[in-house]
Amino acid sequence: MTPAQVQSRAFRYETIEGEDVMLDGTRVRVATPRMLYHMKKDTVRPQDRLDAETLRQQFGLTEE
């Protein structure tokens, strides 16, 4: 894989789909379950693929 291909698959903070949640009285921005699924589903780490499948099942996500 060329560096350009790797970079095109990378996620940037500015483009991550997120939502605001309150954590101990502080508003924080977190990635949505759908975004986490997309970030994890095609990685080489087996744990990420397991995480992606768990997210898909728990949140009823589909391939888009």
Q: Tell me: the pLDDT tens digits for 9-41? A: 688 888 899 999 999 999 999 999 999 999 999
pTM: 0.77
pLDDT band at 64 (very low <50, low <70, confident <90, very high): low
The span from the CA of 30 to the CA of 27, in Å, is: 10
CA distances, 6 to each of 1, 3, 9, 11 (Å): 7, 5, 5, 10
State how far Cα 18 lies from the chain centre: 10
